[in-house]
């Protein structure tokens, strides 16, 4: 019965040594699952091993990958444990099903001054509240790519919900990322920090700005989308693994292809459209009012509500 070494990594496959594994990884083929769905010709082409050996490796990869089935009922039980962070506005909470959820990615997109960053500040404070007050008693990893984090704002918002603002600031782990590499590496190395600091919310403000400024021109678009795709995939993995919430902001551009209606479209194209669990579109209205549209949610209907951005944070 005793089998040889269990196959867990791609280099455990027959005929695939370290060099071949490295080659595969550089083509983004980094798991047994990915090899299991390749054809022998495809694998042979990217790895340089013979078609015959590729066949064997794929066979073993298929035998070594399992698919976990679960019933709708047990999945439903798990969903009951999903945490929700209050946004500060009852209307907005209701619209999105109770608050910003753990185990998923919430994206806010909109023009400048539409309130994306302010909503992030509010969530960074509220996640620290006790559960019965709309929080998760958890801490925050705040990745700032635009240099717009303002501790003063955190202080005012904390005071308004009766939290000790110095403690609140202590519980926000702040990273100023100046390149996509720094942004990506912060997440790659986040496991230990998340566990040690009880991180329950990761904020990236903004998710796309560095990608947008570093990858310019048509030729770079494919690479940008591929990197962004891996990055958001990593976010979702962390959200699931540690039952934490992810809030990302995103810029918009005017899409000249849209002739009727609102031409404002979020950056990131399909990659983000598919990755974000909940998408919010923020627009300025009169004075402190902001219109928030729920564009995409796995279980709530599309809707719109109005919030206020005040010195004390987000209000109805």
Q: What 3-state DSSP class applies to 127?
A: coil
Closest CA relative to residue 228, chosen from 252, 196, 206, 199: 206
**Peptide bond before residue 206 is cis, with ω within 30 degrees of 0:** yes
Nearest to 61 by CA among 115, 99, 7: 7
Report how far residue 110's alpha carbon sits from residue 253's, in angstroms, rounded to the nearest whole number.
9
Which residues in the 141-160 window bind ligand ATP by CB under 6 A?
A: 148
Q: Which is nearer to Mg ion, 89 or 118 (CB)?
A: 118
Residue with tokens 């990869």: 61
User: Which CB atom, from 148 or from 229, has the smaller least distance to ligand ATP?
Assistant: 148
CA-only gyration radius of the chain, Å: 22
Q: Specify whether the CB–CB gap between 168 and 128 falls below 8 A.
A: yes
User: Quick one: tokens of 310?
Assistant: 């005040």
Question: Of all helices (H) and strands (E), which one includes residue 144?
Answer: strand 139-144
Q: Which is nearer to ligand ATP, 69 or 112 (CB)?
A: 112
* Residues linked to residue 291 through DSSP beta bridges, in sequence order: 283, 306
Which of ligand ATP, Mg ion, none binds 310 (CB below 5-8 Å, type-dependent)?
ligand ATP
Select the binding partner of residue 114 from Mg ion, ligand ATP, none (C-beta < 5 to 8 A, by kind). ligand ATP
- Encoded one letter per residue, x for contact with Mg ion by CB under 5 A and - for no contact, window 119-158 reads -----------------------------x----------
Q: Judged by CB under 6 A, does residue 311 bind ligand ATP?
A: yes
118 binds, among ligand ATP, Mg ion, none (CB under 5 to 8 A by kind): ligand ATP
Q: How do beta strands 278-284 and 289-296 pair?
A: antiparallel
Is residue 309 near ligand ATP by the rule CB under 6 A?
yes
Q: How far is CA 100 from CA 89, 217, 223, 287, in A?
A: 11, 35, 30, 25
According to DSSP, the β-strands at 84-85 and 100-101 are antiparallel
Tokens of 119: 């909503």
| Residue 209 lies near Mg ion (rule: CB under 5 A) | no
Between 168 and 309, CB nearer to Mg ion: 309
Site size for Mg ion, by CB under 5 A? 2
State which of residues 86, 87, 117, 278 lies at the interface with Mg ion (CB under 5 A). Answer: 117
Among Mg ion, ligand ATP, none, partner that 110 touches (CB below 5 to 8 angstroms by kind): ligand ATP
In whole angstroms, how close is the CB of 105 to Mg ion at the nearest point? 17
Q: How far is the CB of 114 from Mg ion (least distance, A)?
A: 8
Q: Binding string to ligand ATP for residues 99 to 138, with x set by CB under 6 A, is what?
A: -----------x-xxxxxxx--------------------
Name the residue whose CB lies closest to Mg ion: 117
Can you give the binding site for Mg ion, defined by CB under 5 A? 117, 148
Can you give the binding site for ligand ATP, defined by CB under 6 A? 110, 112-118, 148, 309-311
């Amino acid at each position: 019965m005793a089998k040889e070494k269990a196959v867990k990594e791609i280099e455990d496959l027959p005929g695939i040594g370290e060099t071949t594994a490295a080659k595969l990884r550089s083509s983004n083929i980094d798991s047994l699952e990915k090899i299991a769905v390749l054809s022998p010709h495809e694998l042979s082409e990217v790895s340089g091993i013979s078609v015959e050996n590729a066949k064997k490796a794929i066979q073993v990869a298929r035998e070594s990958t399992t698919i976990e089935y679960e019933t709708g009922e047990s999945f439903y039980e798990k969903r009951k444990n999903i945490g929700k962070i209050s946004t500060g506005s009852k209307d907005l909470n209701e619209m999105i099903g109770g608050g910003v959820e753990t185990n998923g990615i919430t994206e806010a997109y909109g023009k400048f001054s539409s309130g994306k960053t302010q909503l992030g500040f509010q969530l960074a404070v509220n996640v620290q509240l006790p559960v019965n007050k709309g929080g998760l008693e958890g801490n925050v990893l705040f990745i700032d790519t635009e240099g717009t984090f303002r501790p003063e704002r955190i202080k005012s918002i904390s005071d308004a919900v009766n939290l000790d603002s110095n403690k609140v600031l202590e519980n926000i782990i702040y990273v100023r990322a100046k390149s996509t590499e720094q942004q990506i590496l912060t997440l790659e190395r986040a496991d230990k920090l998340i566990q040690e600091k009880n991180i329950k919310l990761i904020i990236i403000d903004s998710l796309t700005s560095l990608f947008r400024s570093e990858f310019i021109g048509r030729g770079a678009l494919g690479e940008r989308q591929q990197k962004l795709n891996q990055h958001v995939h990593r976010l979702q993995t962390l959200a699931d693994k540690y039952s934490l919430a992810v809030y990302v902001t995103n810029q918009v551009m005017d899409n000249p292809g849209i002739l009727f209606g609102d031409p404002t479209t979020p950056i990131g194209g399909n990659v983000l459209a598919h990755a974000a669990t909940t998408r919010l579109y923020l627009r300025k209205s009169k004075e402190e009012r902001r219109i928030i549209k729920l564009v995409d949610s796995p279980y709530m209907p599309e809707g719109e509500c109005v919030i206020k951005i005040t010195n004390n944070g987000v209000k109805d």
